[in-house]
Amino acid sequence: MYAYDQYDRQIISQRVAQYRDQTERYLAGKITEEQFLPLRLQNGLYVQRLAPMLRIAVPYGTLNSQQLRKLAFITREYDKGYAHISTRQNVQLNWPKLEEVPDILEHLAEVEMHSIQTSGNCIRNVTADQFSGVAADEVEDARPWCEIIRQWSTFHPEFAFLPRKFKIAVCGSEQDRAAVLVHDIGLQIVKDESGNTAFKVIVGGGLGRTPVIGSVIHEALPPRHLLSYLEAIVRVYNQLGRRDNKFKARIKILVRAMGADAFKAKVEEEWAFIKDGNLDLPDEEIARAQSFFTRPDYEALENEDLQALALENVDFARWLNHNVHAHKQRGYAIATLSLKTTGVAPGDITAEQFEAVADLAEEFGFGEIRSTHQQNLVLPDIQQRQLFALWQKLVSLELASPTVGTMNDIICCPGGDFCSLANAKSIPIAEAIQRRFDDLDYLYDLGDIELNISGCMNACGHHHIGNIGILGVDKKGQEFYQVSLGGQQGLNASLGKILGPSFAQDEIPDVVEKILNCYLEKRHPEERFIDTYERIGLAPFKERVYA
C-alpha cells in the first residue's frame, strides 16, 4: 500500500490548515454561501436533507487496519457510530457538523487520509478494481497507476473549476470490475504484441440523466505518456465543455456533440505541446509507484480442498461459493464481506464492525482491506485453510450474508432518507426486496443478477447498469418507481431499457417477482438473466408485468 513521505504529509497538513481557515472565514461571514459551496464540495462536504454529509476519499478502494480504526473513532466521536461505503469506494459520514469537519480532517491526516476532491467540479478520487493485485484474472496491478494519477490530479491548479465533475477509473484485469466504460475517462490496462503494458483510453462514458457508454480514443497508450495524455484530455474538456447548462456539462455530452474522432483530434493537437515534456513518466517513477504494491509475504501453500468442510456445513458452503473469489497466489483466497445484511441500509457499516474488520485483516491477512463499488468490503489475502475460521467470525459480526453477486447484493443510493435531491426513497425498496426474496436457494437458483436502485436520475445507485434497475421518480408529488431491464456493467456494459409506466412503492416486490418468474420460465439451462433478456428482449417481461 502507498505510504506517504514528507511531501505528501506536508501537502495534506497544509490542506487541513487551508480548509480550517476557509471554514472559519465562512462562519465569520467573510465568504458567501455561494463562494463557500465549491470550497466545501472540493472537500467532500455536501449539505444534505438532515445534516451535512462528508465523503472521505479511499483512493482506489485501498485501506489498512489503522485507517479503519480511525474511521471507527471518527464515526463515534463526530457522527452516530456508523458510516456508509459509496459506489465509488469512498466512505461517507451522514451526520458530521460543518464546524467540526476541520478536526475530522486532522484526525484523518494522522492516518494518511483526507477528503480532497471527493466532490465538486474537479477530478475526483480515482477508482479501481477492488481485487487489484490479487485477482486471478489480472493483467497488471492497477494501483500503482492509480497512485500516479492521484498525485497528478490532487490540487491540479488548472482543473479545479471544470464544467462538471470528472471521474477516472482504472481496470487491470480481463473482467472489468471498475466500470471503465461509464466513467469520464476509463483506462483499461492491456498488453501490446511484445507484452508491454499500455492503456486503452476510453472517454465520455457516464450515467446520470444521460447515460452513455464511453468511446475508445486510444487503443494502446504507452505508460510514459499517461499523464500528458490525461492532461490533454482534461484541458480540451475544460475549454470546450458546456458551461451554460449543468445537465449538459459532462464530457460525455462534449464527446457526443463533437464525435469521438474529432474529440480525439483535438486532444492529440493539445497533446503535441506537452508530449515528451516534464509530465513524461520516467521508468524510475513508475518503479517507485510499483514498489509500494509488491506482493506481501505469502507463505508457500497448496490449494486446500474445502469440500469436506463444506459438506458438513451448508452455511459455510454457501458463503464459500458466493463470497470467496479466486486469488493469484496458490493457497490463498479473496473474501468479500457483505454489507448487505437485510434490515441494514446497503453499504452501511458500524464503528464496531470497522474495528472488528481491522482486527480480522491483521489476524488473517496483511492488515489490508478494500472497499468495492458494490458497497462491500474485501479482505484480499486470506489463507484458504483459514477461511472457515474467518467465516465463523464474520457470521457473528453480521458480515457474512452469503449473497455476494446475487440479486440481494443490491447497489443502492442513500435516496430520500438522506438526500435532498431524491425523488423517492431507495433504502426501504432495497429492504422490501431483500425480505421478499429471502430464500437463499431461490436466490442461488436465479444466479447472477444485479439489482441497482437510485432515488433520482442522478444515478448514484447505477440503476442504468443493473440487470434490473429501479429509479425513483416523482409522479404528481408521489414517490414512484420506474423499472428498467437489461443493463449490465463490465466490458460488455449496456444500459437498461425502461419497462413501462412506473409503480408505487408497495408494488415493487411483486413487480420484481413477476420479472423473475418470466425469466425462470423462459431461460435455457444455465442461462443467466441478462442472457435470457438479450435473447428474448423486453416484450415478454413487459407482458407479464403489466398483464
Residues that bind ligand SF4 (rule: CB under 6 A) add up to a total of: 13
Positions in the binding site for other proteins (CB under 8 A): 5, 7, 10-11, 14-15, 18, 22, 30-31, 35, 38-39, 121, 148, 151-152, 154-162, 227, 235, 238-239, 243, 273-274, 277-279, 281-282, 285, 288
Mark 103-128 as b/e (b = at least 16 C-beta within 10 Å).
bbbebbbebbbbbbbbbbbbbbbbbb
Among ligand SF4, ligand HEM, other proteins, none, partner that 238 touches (CB below 5 to 8 angstroms by kind): other proteins
d(CA 322, CA 311): 15
The residue range among 122-130, 418-426, 441-449, 537-545 that interacts with ligand SF4, by the rule CB under 6 A, is 418-426
Residue 133 binding partner per list other proteins, ligand SF4, ligand HEM, none, with a CB distance cut-off of 5 to 8 Å that depends on partner kind: none
458 binds ligand SF4 (CB under 6 A): yes
Q: Which does 208 bind (CB under 5 to 8 A by kind): ligand HEM, ligand SF4, other proteins, none?
A: ligand HEM
b/e sequence 147-162, b meaning 16+ C-beta within 10 Å:
bbbbbbbbbbeebeeb
Whole-angstrom Cα Rg for the chain: 23
Task: Tell me which stretch binds ligand SF4 (CB under 6 A): 25-33, 285-293, 299-307, 414-422.
Answer: 414-422
Quick check: 454 binds ligand SF4 (CB under 6 A)? yes
In whole angstroms, what is the distance from residue 453 CA to residue 428 CA?
A: 11
Residue 220, classed as helix, strand or coil, is: strand
Tell whether residue 422 is a contact of ligand SF4 (CB under 6 A): yes
Q: Give the shortest CB-433-to-ligand HEM separation in angstroms.
A: 17
Given ligand SF4, other proteins, ligand HEM, none, residue 88, with its beta carbon under 5 to 8 Å by kind, binds ligand HEM
Dist CA 135 CA 157 (whole Å) = 35
Closer of 48 and 313 to ligand HEM (Cβ): 48
Instruction: Choose among ligand HEM, ligand SF4, other proteins, none what residue 46 binds, the Cβ cut-off being 5 to 8 Å by kind.
Output: ligand HEM
Residue 351: which of other proteins, ligand HEM, ligand SF4, none does it interact with, CB under 5 to 8 A by kind?
none
Question: Residues 163, 428, 447, 455: which binds ligand SF4 (CB under 6 A)?
Answer: 455
Matching residue, cell 505541446: 273
End-to-end CA distance of the chain: 54
Long-range contacts of 306-313 (CB under 8 A, 24+ apart): 306/384, 306/387, 306/388, 309/388, 313/388
Site for ligand HEM, residues 233 to 252, rule: CB under 6 A: 250
Shortest Å distance, C-beta 452 to ligand SF4: 10
Contact letters for ligand HEM, residues 38-77 (x by CB under 6 A): --------x-x----x------------------------
What is the CB neighbour count within 10 angstroms for residue 204? 27
What is the rounded distance in angstroms from the CA atom of residue 338 to the CA atom of residue 406? 11
Q: Cβ of residue 85: shortest distance to ligand SF4, in angstroms?
A: 14
**What sign for the dihedral angle of Cα 387, 389, 394, 395?**
positive
Residue 290: φ, ψ to 5°: -70, -25
Residue 35 binding result from ligand SF4, other proteins, ligand HEM, none, given CB thresholds of 5 to 8 Å by partner type: other proteins
DSSP state of 87: T
55 vs 235, beta carbon nearer ligand SF4: 55
In the block, cell 449490465 appears at 488
Residue matched to cell numbers 451448508: 314
Does residue 207 interact with ligand HEM by CB under 6 A?
A: yes
Instruction: Choose from ligand HEM, ligand SF4, other proteins, none: what does 415 bind? Cβ within 5-8 Å by kind.
Output: ligand SF4
Q: Which residues contact 34 (CB under 8 A, 6 or more apart)?
A: none
- The greatest distance separating any two alpha carbons of the chain, rounded to the nearest whole angstrom, comes to 69
Instruction: Name the pairing type of β-strands 185-191 and 168-171.
Output: parallel
Chain residues in the site for ligand SF4 (CB under 6 A): 413-415, 419, 421-422, 454-456, 458-461
Chain residues in the site for ligand HEM (CB under 6 A): 46, 48, 53, 86-88, 92, 164-165, 167, 206-208, 250, 413-414, 418-419, 421, 458-460
